[in-house]
Structure 1
Amino acid sequence: MTATDARPARRSIPAVLLGSREERLKESQPPRSARIAAYVLFFLLGIAVSICGAFVQALWPPVGVLLALAATAATFYGGLRVTGTRLGAGVPAAGWFLALLLVMVPRPEGDNVLWTNATSLCWLFVGSILGVICATLPTRTSWFPGVPGPPRRP
């Protein structure tokens, strides 16, 4: 046996950070009451990330968009991993979109939070794509969001 045979196989950076599908499917499902509390928390967190992201992306144009998108992706993916359901990523996305609807409406004084410039449109478009990607990642549940599937056999 050589020294190279004893080393574990190298994994890619996304596999190390996000885990493999097999690792995610082996994780235990949180109890229903904990999932419901997490859904409420992530809905409110989605609203907060949306409002803060709207101001951050406009405040620091090139870097602000990246910060807002990183926070958005972390919120959606965090909801997915904490609850173990696709609904866990969909609930913060719903809060994110609800807050965006309120932020996009111009005020009577003529003030806007989101303008039709490249950074605002990039944040809206890429953020919505991130929500769809996170809501369609493999989870421990069946095809319907939020409903635990039958127990998996090893």
Structure 2
Amino acid sequence: MSTATKAAVHAVLVVLGVLVGLAGALVQGAFLPGGLLLALLAGAALFHGGLRAAGGQAGVMTSGLGWLAAVVAVGFGRGEGDKVFWGGLADLVFVLGGMALAVMCATYSTLPQQRGRARALDR
């Protein structure tokens, strides 16, 4: 992969991380407990997809940084008192669970190898 392609892949992963983080923050609080599960599954798909798209752990890191930036940004709230996270159990499960999923995906040292059909000598 060329350097320009790698940069484009990582830029797209950061943007996708921000979008999945924002959508997850809104969905997890709106449709409890199904929304929480959906938000965590979307995060896991993003992190694993980043691993596959970038071909390594840097893809998980860039998508995870976008996700974390979005979650932290909506977690601060506004001066008027509008908040997305109010400190409930579901909010903590979403934030800590998302970070745990990113760490799990980042601990893959390499991508799993695809194996073809087994030959007679491989058995």
TM-score (norm 1): 0.69
Which structure has more helix as a fraction of its residues? 2
> For residue 101 of structure 1, what is the aligned residue in structure 2?
72
Query: Which of these two proteins has the greater Rg computed from alpha carbons?
Result: 1
CA-based RMSD = 1.2
> For residue 53 of structure 1, what is the aligned residue in structure 2?
24
Q: Distance in 2 between matches of 1:83 and 1:101?
A: 24
Structure 2, unmatched stretches of 5+, are 112-123
Q: Distance in 2 between matches of 1:45 and 1:108?
A: 27
Which of 1, 4, 8 matches 1:37? Answer: 8
> For residue 43 of structure 2, what is the aligned residue in structure 1?
72
Q: Distance in 1 between matches of 2:71 and 2:24?
A: 10
Fraction of identical pairs, as percent: 38
Structure 1, unmatched stretches of 5+, are 1-29, 141-154
Tell me which of the two structures has the higher relative contact order, counting C-alpha pairs closer than 8 angstroms and 6 or more residues apart: 2
3-state DSSP of counterpart to 2:33: helix
Count of residue pairs brought into register by the alignment: 111
3-state DSSP of counterpart to 1:90: helix
Any residues of structure 2 matched to 1:4-153 within 5 Å, and which?
30-139=1-110
TM-score (norm 2): 0.85
> For residue 151 of structure 1, what is the aligned residue in structure 2?
none
